[in-house]
Amino acid sequence: MVPDSASDDFYRTAPKFRDFRLVADEFSFSPLPDDWLIGVADVEQSTKAIEDQRYKAVNMAGAAVIAAIANALGGRDFPFVFGGDGASFAVSPGDAATARQALAETATWVSEDLDLTLRVGMVSVGEIRRNGHDVRVGRYAVSDNISIAMFSGGGVAWADAAMKRDEISVPRAPAGARPDLSGLSCRFERFPTQYGQILSVLVLPADISRMSAFRAVVKQIISMVEGSSECDRPAAREAMQLKWPPQGCDLEARASRKAGEPVGIRIMKVYAMTFLYFLIMRFNVRVGRFVPKKYLSEVAANSDFRKFDDALRMIIDCLPGMARRIEDTLAAAESNGHIRYGCHRENAAIMTCFTPLPSQPSHVHFIDGAEGGYALAAAALKRRL
């Protein structure tokens, strides 16, 4: 669809920032136009799926939302945030119908191919503002290759809650409908901790009237992490491992199969394709414009291990002492009424990849804890509430 509104260029022309600590500053964000739409998605009963050892499928469902919208929009840039067991995004009015259809198809695909329930919803920014919240967006440049959206203003959180109350739900597409999930895969092995702990962090404001205190805590936690030699991103270049067959072969087959194509046939094709890919990567074989070593460096640089969407979310690899200091800082801020938080520790991280064109550097890689990550950090927060 060709954009038909002057506001469609809003995000493409929005300024970027490189210092992640700036997510704590409101001047890093600009208000979205009223006619833009916010989309939200969430896997129901994700905690049970984690207990059933299906968190890789849960992550695939969340990443599928982003892949489906991106492919439906023909690669046009749009703001999105991956949340582990879900995702949120914004689209211009000219792209709203296309995005709604892709969202409905993704919900059907998640049900039929992953045996999970994906709740999805969309609402206008104007409606969010009429309910007393705002949606502001910033563009954080993760690397020289890509930028990732950050949301503030409370509007995305309100939309997520409204979806769960079934107030803004988008109905599933008819049975058999399939989104275009080209480029969605999960071929890398788990990333074992290099420092001792993979810490998933979720920090929310305790009270909308005390946002300055919340932002101060966010800046403090980010500064602790960035200024320390005791932690790093989980997807470090030296931690990347590819094996054959990859753990995510079945999921990739389900994402890439065509309508009517038997899963078993597609799995065989993916086995063959991933074996060739494994050989190319293993022996560093250049194929046209694709250079394996360059690609792996881009994967590390483009890993989406921290974000902000009305909440601070981080997956970090750190020493146990560093994890304890972060948790103690958050506990003190919570006791002062500044924040609400949840943390979860484990021994490995996982990556779900969206690589439309491997030869282009604009691929993005979503990081989460291997055994529950963001979802279990959220569950820890809910238990304390």
**pLDDT for residue 12:** 86
Tell me the mean pLDDT in the region 132-146: 95
Tell me the mean pLDDT in the region 313-338: 97
Say if residue 385's pLDDT is above 90: no
Say if residue 259's pLDDT is above 90: no
User: pLDDT > 70: what percent of the chain?
Assistant: 98
Residue 332: pLDDT band with limits 50, 70, 90:
very high
**Of 252, 246, 234, 194, nearest to 350 (Cα)?**
234
What are the pLDDT digits (tens) for 146-198? 999 999 999 999 999 999 999 999 999 999 999 999 999 989 999 999 999 99
**pLDDT for residue 1:** 39
Peptide bond into 234 cis (omega under 30): no
Beta-ladder partners of 199: 316, 345
Calpha distance 142→18 (Å, rounded): 7
Say if residue 4's pLDDT is above 50: no
CB 189 within 8 A of CB 294: no
**pLDDT for residue 7:** 65
Say if residue 75's pLDDT is above 90: no
Environment class of 327 (CB within 10 Å of its CB; exposed 0-12, middle 13-18, buried 19+)? middle
Give me the amino acid identity at 17.
F
Residue 3: pLDDT band with limits 50, 70, 90:
very low
Residue 268: partners with Cβ closer than 8 Å, 6 or more residues away:
none
Residue 384: pLDDT band with limits 50, 70, 90:
confident
Say if residue 10's pLDDT is above 80: yes
Tell me the mean pLDDT in the region 70-78: 93
Show the CA angle centred on residue 78, arms to residues 360 and 42, nearest 5°.
105
What are the pLDDT digits (tens) for 217-242? 999 999 999 989 999 999 887 788 99
Show the CA angle centred on residue 373, arms to residues 104 and 45, nearest 5°.
45
**pLDDT for residue 71:** 97
What are the pLDDT digits (tens) for 198-216? 999 999 999 877 899 999 9
Q: Which residue blocks in the chain are alpha helix, DSSP H?
A: 46-51, 55-72, 96-114, 125-130, 155-164, 211-226, 249-256, 263-282, 292-301, 320-335, 373-384
Write down the mean pLDDT value for the chain.
94
Residue 2: pLDDT band with limits 50, 70, 90:
very low
**Residue labelled with tokens 């999805």:** 120
Reading the block at residue 204, the tokens are 């929310």
Decide the pairing of beta strands 312-318 and 16-17. unpaired
